[in-house]
Every structure is written in C-alpha cells, then in structure tokens.
Structure 1
Amino acid sequence: MRIMVLLTEPDHYDVWEAADAQERGRFFDRLEAFGNAVAERGAIVAGEGLDHHGRARTLGPRTDDGRAVTDGPYAEAAEQLGGFYLVDLPDLDTAVELARLLPDNLTVELRPATAA
C-alpha cells in the first residue's frame, strides 16, 4: 500500500532558520530512524524537503478566462508543509506506528494513495 506522509509544522521555515546545529542534528536523526524503520518493513518510494512556501505557485481551477496563477501555497495557514515521503508499507497501521519515529514537533498526515 502506498501512503503519502505529509510533514507540517507551525511556522516551519522560521523555526528551522532559528534552530542550532544540535537541534537540526536531532531532527535529521529522527528522519533517519524513520527511513531505516520503513526500509525494514517496506520502502520509501520518494521523499524530499520542500523549498520555502513563498516560492510556490498555485494554479486555480480552469475558468472561461483560463487558469489563474498566484504566488504562494494553496492554503494560507500557520502550518506549513515542509516535506513529504511516499512510502510503500503493508498497511496504514504500520505507517502510523512508524510515523511515531518522526520528529515530535511535526504534524504528520498519512494519506493512502488510491490505485489509478
């Protein structure tokens, strides 16, 4: 089962910029623990940190005038999407178990992908 793991945090980019080397090291240690645990039970299909949300572009739904392109993310919110994984694991319960290894300051959304 493929599952999208979305990693969000309030004011993520400001928090990251303010973090010292030790805090960043602990963060990456938790990501590594998650990656190793996923590899034991399944696979990471893809995963990346995302650039600052201010560099995003959003295309709105098509109208008679075409598609509007706006600067910034889809939703304005304090919680910022900072990265993602696409994992292949036996089931959603396994994904929940392994997601507990991710850094505690993140909100983690697990969303099963549907077969095309």
Structure 2
Amino acid sequence: MHGPVRLDRDVEALVLDPSYRGTEVEAAACRLPCPLEWHPGFRLAVSELRRYPDYRGQECVDLGTKIAIDGYLNSRMIGAAALTGDHDEQALKRVWHYVARFGPLPPGG
C-alpha cells in the first residue's frame, strides 16, 4: 500500500479474538468506521503448553505459565502482559505463537 489507510474505505472488517468481548477494546472497536467481526478464538491450557518446550523454547513455556490465568492463556492475557512492560515483547510474541499453533478453539467452542 502507498499512502494513508482509511478505515471507512480501505478496511473490510476489524476481526477480534472473543477474549476481548465486553472489554474496552471492543468498545473502542465499535467506534471505528468499519465493521467489527469475531474469529472463533484461541485458548491454550498450560498443560498443553508444557508439552512443547522445543517449539519456541523453555523460556517461552515458563513465561506463558507465569502469565496464564486459571491454567489457561489467551490473546487478552498476552496483551495485558505486554502492557505491563515487564516482559520482553519478542518473548510474548513467541508465547502467542504457542497459543495460535496449539490453542485454536473448535467452531462454536
């Protein structure tokens, strides 16, 4: 693309993870001049995360375990961890790789 992107003209839809339903992120998205859609979502159990230390490294497994809530990880938890500034952004990105690779929710799930 060359030039500015206009949400009202250039964006078909903003697609959010369902972990952001009912949050400030959803409220902000609803104010944008493009449609809001939801994808099925990603949620990864820490027990599943721990099965794959070789995928992105034990450090990422440890970080994911640390930021998980009630034994699970999702997009919102990773985003909240990023906002604290306490974690390396690249490490959080690799945790996201785990969630996206091993934690897709089944349709309707």
Q: Above 0.5 in TM-score?
A: no
TM norm structure 2: 0.28
Structure whose residues are more often strand by fraction: 1
More helix by share: 2
| Higher RCO, Cα 8 Å, sep 6+ | 1
Please report the TM-score for the alignment, with normalisation by the length of structure 1: 0.27
